[in-house]
Amino acid sequence: MTHPNTADPTPHVSPAAHVDPTVGANPGPASAEPWTWTAAEALAAFRTKELSPVDYLDALTARIADREPDINAVTEIVEEARAQAVAAEKVYMTEPAQTLAEVLAARPLLGLPVLAKEKHALAGHTLSQGMVHLRDEVAAEDATIISRIRGAGGYVHARVTSPEFSCATFTHSPLWGVTRNPWNLELSPGGSSGGSGAGLAAGYGPLATASDIAGSTRLPAAFTGTVGYKAPYGRIPGTPPLSLDWYRGDGPMARTVADTALLARVMVGISPADHMTVPSPDFLTAFDAHSGRTVEALAGRRIALCVRLGDFPVAPDVERNTRKAAEALASAGAAVEEIDLPWTVERLFDAAFTHYGNFLTPLMRAATAGHEDTLAPYTLRFMEFAEAAAARRSLADGLVLEAGIQTELAAAMSGFDVLLAPTSAVAALTADGDFLDGITVGDRSFDHYWQGHMTVPFNICNRAPVVNVPSGMADCGIPTGLQVVGHPFADRSAFDVAAAVEQLLPWTGLAPG
């Protein structure tokens, strides 16, 4: 096992210049280096023998070596990945076309490398979750989503960073140092799946694993200009006991909606290890993100736009990009209507932190007992904040708050196919900040910096699928994100509209540099 980064060696740099994200959008294999290719492009090149899985892995490994001194997103280069690429290459080179088609139907990721969030167990490898006292902990078996990636012919070639216990919306830790946003190295790629977002945007791989308990998939996707899917609770299996937490869920990230759907199809479905999982036999059947019919199908779609989700103080550049995406959908034939929700930031986070204080924090305390002096200040602050909320309200009190929020969302979305909202009210977080004193957004100050993000309502309403897609560039030089929210378990509608946004507002998916 190779651990290339144990501390942050990178000095701060000046903010990135504004970049037009449509320049060079969706570069194809004929016009770009292999590390820039999407999963769909790589698979096509494997089938035509234009590129071998081994050469693709080599290109990605070289890219990691080139960019890691600046970004610091990789915890480990997985040495056995090369043998897995060689085995895939043999299949592509020796199987006749008809047999190969049958193989790919059963193993749709054959030869594709995947960036794995370190918290997703890889048998025989470390499982520290960013905590110093667990740095030598070794996983006995694969997490279910990792075993499903392997079963589909994919493999993990690099493991990537997260904050301690995945409890921050930025990504740095005493164990791994500071992970930086490839679009602007002074800023964070978000968290907790920040290593996944940074790695995708930097060209380290076409696919990545992620998880989400308060926005940990959608926020890094938003801040890095990538796509992230928060599945409805039960759609994708997790690991007990946290799999019993109805706020959380594992999922995929990628640089395109099509690639995100490809990895999601591999992850979903019932698992004996997770009794919360639901059958998903027809999940995204016949979904084609590249079909021109995706935009054509907007005619007659009813889309709700809610810029503030109640009273979030949304930054002007975030609002501008959100409205631009809504206008593009309306111009393409969708019926877009702006709505209001009777939510307040305070009520949403009263519910959420009551939940975390009664459910998550006791598990965190048990996992870190006796090692508090090694923890990052933000981890201690999160536990103290959540425990204070739990001291004010019981879990039953929190459930009453959640029920009201869920009822209000259902009423607001009645008659609409999907809801659009920004992913974060604040455009960026600094890469190395702890935000112990909260956050100020516009003219409002909040006690906890999570209150600057707009993701947690859909963890409270966690049967709703959400796809984050890029919506434009913030004034600080990193992307902004748009949440496309579907009705409970109506994943296809969220993916359809996300794909339409992607076609109407083309995006490179790769940071410059």
- Residue-level pLDDT at 2: 42
Distance CA 200, CA 378 (A): 25
- 282: domain CATH number is 3.90.1300.10
Q: 410 Cβ partners below 8 Å, 6+ apart?
A: none
pTM for the full model? 0.94
- Would you say residue 172 lies in a domain? yes
Q: Ramachandran region of residue 225, left (φ > 0), alpha (ψ -120 to 50) or beta?
A: left
- Would you say residue 282 lies in a domain? yes
Distance CA 92, CA 87 (A): 9
Beginning with the edge strand found earlier in the chain, give each strand of the sheet holding 113-117 in spatial order. Answer: 74-77, 155-160, 113-117, 207-212, 249-254, 227-230, 466-473, 479-486, 418-422, 302-305, 335-338
- Would you say residue 351 lies in a domain? yes
- Residue-level pLDDT at 29: 55
- Residue-level pLDDT at 292: 75
- Would you say residue 437 lies in a domain? yes
Instruction: Name residue 80's amino acid.
Output: E
DSSP at 360: I
- Residue-level pLDDT at 63: 98
Host H or E run for residue 480: strand 479-486
For residue 253 the two structure tokens come to: 């990230």
Helices (H), 95-176: 97-106, 144-151
> How many domains, the chain?
1
DSSP at 35: G
For residue 447 the two structure tokens come to: 């006690």
Q: Which of helix, strand or coil describes residue 277? A: coil
- Would you say residue 323 lies in a domain? yes
For residue 201 the two structure tokens come to: 């945007």
Boundaries of domain holding 419: 35-504
- Residue-level pLDDT at 297: 87
Q: How many CB atoms lie within 10 A of CB 342?
A: 12
User: From first to last of its 513 residues, what are the pLDDT tens digits of the chain?
Assistant: 443 333 333 322 323 333 333 333 344 555 589 999 999 999 999 999 999 999 999 999 999 999 999 999 999 999 999 999 999 999 999 999 999 999 999 999 999 999 999 999 999 999 999 999 999 999 999 999 999 999 999 999 999 999 999 999 999 999 999 999 999 999 999 999 999 999 999 999 999 999 999 999 999 999 999 999 999 999 999 999 999 999 999 999 999 999 999 999 999 999 999 999 999 999 999 898 887 788 988 999 999 999 999 999 999 999 999 999 999 999 999 999 999 999 999 999 999 999 999 999 999 999 999 999 999 999 999 999 999 999 999 999 999 999 999 999 999 999 999 999 999 999 999 999 999 999 999 999 999 999 999 999 999 999 999 999 999 999 999 999 999 999 999 999 999 999 999 999 999 889 998
Instruction: Name residue 365's amino acid.
Output: R
Contact 8, 172 (CB under 8 A): yes
- How many Cα atoms occupy the beta-carbon half-sphere of 184 within 13 Å? 26
- Residue-level pLDDT at 5: 38
Q: How many CB atoms lie within 10 A of CB 325?
A: 26
Q: 403 Cβ partners below 8 Å, 6+ apart?
A: none
> For the chain, how many residues are written?
513
- Would you say residue 408 lies in a domain? yes
For residue 141 the two structure tokens come to: 């078996």
Residue of 346, 352, 314, 305 lying closest to 458 (CA atoms): 352
- Would you say residue 10 lies in a domain? no
Residue of 302, 307, 336, 322 lying closest to 493 (CA atoms): 302
Question: How far does Cα 309 stand from its chain's mean position?
Answer: 21
- Would you say residue 513 lies in a domain? no
Distance CA 110, CA 91 (A): 9
Determine phi and psi for 316, rounding to 5 degrees.
Answer: -55, -40
